Amino acid sequence: MVQLIDGKTISKQIKDELKEQVAELSAKGVKICLAVIQVGNDPASSVYVGNKKKACAYIGIDSLSYELPEETTEKELLELIDKLNKDDAVNGILVQLPVPKHIDEDKIIKAISPLKDVDGFHPMSVGALSIGQPGFVSCTPAGVIQLLKRSGIEIAGKECVVIGRSNIVGKPMAMLLLRENGTVTICHSKTKDLKEVCKRADILVVAIGRPKMIDASYIKEGATVIDVGIHRDENNKLCGDVDFESASKVAGAITPVPGGVGPMTIAMLMHNCVDSINIK
Ligand code: GUN
């Protein structure tokens, strides 16, 4: 029987552990505060931002909410970030992406102090991860590592294949698996013989952004399959980058969509907020 990797239960565990830590810190007079900035009112972003604020409330983290109009200029946004960077009462700053087209996303990411970069997107955070120094780690790949560890799946010495090379998921995912002593391969749109490479994997992390692309024919018998994708299929049902029905017949362990990687992203954001008191 395939092992279902339950992100809903594991993310709840992590949030409950964080809630205890925050209560202990609070008893010592240490407060944690996350500033969340949304520019414009993209409905999907509003849902994500709402969920982030809800998670803060559950754990006991204060959240400051900045809902800025679509017409906000880059200069105005940079000024707000600068003010929050200098505010000692603010531990973490998150600008919900995407920002409107007239604002340079890279400039915004770089403007956030690496000491408050709870998304782990700043080049300093990414560089620190690459050379094994302390810093914030991008939430989704950090969540995948927690799923593996808390499901008893060993990474050290294993063949790990990551499909996708985005700055937010694929690249940090590969660095994290390497940090855990996995043997890591990154695949992308130019990879030759994708199927053959995937079939070598003991741990296959799929972050391609194409619904149900990876079926049983890409998977070694007994492998662990982590599905980072989220889409709606032809029946408007949520699905991932992996064809779950087919893949679960050969995989040893697999994440469902929904209820796999998804809930871990916010749990790890909350982890980063609490961790902010250790990052100097
Ligand atoms: N938009 C989609 N995912 C994310 C995320 O993890 N962080 C931010 N800041 N924006 C996003």
Question: Which string of DSSP letters, residue by residue, matches 19-72?
Answer: HHHHHHHHHTT---EEEEEEES--HHHHHHHHHHHHHHHHHT-EEEEEEE-TT-
- Given the residues 38, 52, 212, 275, select the one marked as catalytic: 52
State the residue range of the domain holding 72: 29-115
Atom 4 in ligand 1: residue holding the nearest Cα? 97
Query: In the block, which residue shows the tokens 């560089």?
Result: 127
Rounded distance from Cα 97 to ligand 1 centre (Å): 5
pLDDT digits (tens, 9 = 90+) for 158-202: 999 999 999 999 999 999 999 999 999 999 999 999 999 999 999
Chain centroid to CA 48: how far? 13
Best probe residue, ligand 1, of 65, 97, 110 (max atoms within 8 Å of C-beta): 97
Active site residue 195: no
> Is 162 within a domain?
yes
Query: What is the sign of the dihedral through the CA atoms of 79, 83, 86 and 91?
Result: negative
The reply to whether 143 and 258 lie within a common domain is yes
Instruction: Provide the CATH number for the domain around residue 220.
Output: 3.40.50.720
Whether 249 is in a domain gets the answer yes
> CA–CA separation, 221 vs 183, rounded Å?
18
Q: What is the pTM of this model?
A: 0.97
Whether 62 is catalytic is: no
> Are 75 and 176 members of one domain?
no
Distance of alpha carbon 164 from alpha carbon 193, whole angstroms: 15
Residue 267 domain-assigned (yes or no): no
**What stretches of 160-210 show up as alpha helix (H) in DSSP?**
170-179, 194-199
* Averaged confidence pLDDT in the chain: 98
Q: Which helix (H) or strand (E) holds 124?
A: helix 123-130
Annotated binding site for NADP(+): 164-166, 230
In a domain, 45, yes or no: yes
Mean pLDDT throughout 251-269? 98
Instruction: Report the nearest atom of ligand 1 relative to the CA of 98.
Output: 1
b/e sequence 75-110, b meaning 16+ C-beta within 10 Å: eebbebbeebeeeeebbbbbbbbebbeebeeeebbb
**How would residue 104 be classed by pLDDT, with cut points 50, 70 and 90?**
very high
Q: Residue 119 catalytic?
A: yes
pLDDT tens for each residue of 75-101:
999 999 999 999 999 999 999 999 999
Beta-carbon count within 10 A of 172 CB? 25
